[in-house]
Amino acid sequence: MTTVFTEVLVPPEIAETLAREAGGINTAVLDPFEGITDEDREAGSSYATVMRENLAALRAGLGCR
């Protein structure tokens, strides 16, 4: 395992502790879209953009191309 994934609606401390205890692996944040705000939408966020960001985080965290 190289990355512990968490989400924006959950405090990161649990994932950070798990990552540290597992030997200092990385953490990465995924967005389930439920937490998107009106401000995010006004800034151009959409379901598609959020899922692309999640895909980028998954690729980086799992060492994919």
pLDDT tens for 11-61 read 999 999 999 999 989 999 999 888 788 998 899 999 999 999 999 999 999
Type and span of the H or E element at 4: strand 3-7
Q: Which of 49, 57, 2 is nearest to 29 (CA)?
A: 57
For residue 36, give the DSSP letter: -
How many whole angstroms separate alpha carbon 6 and alpha carbon 30?
A: 6
Type and span of the H or E element at 20: helix 13-21
pTM for the model: 0.80
User: For the chain, what are the domain ranges?
Assistant: 3-62
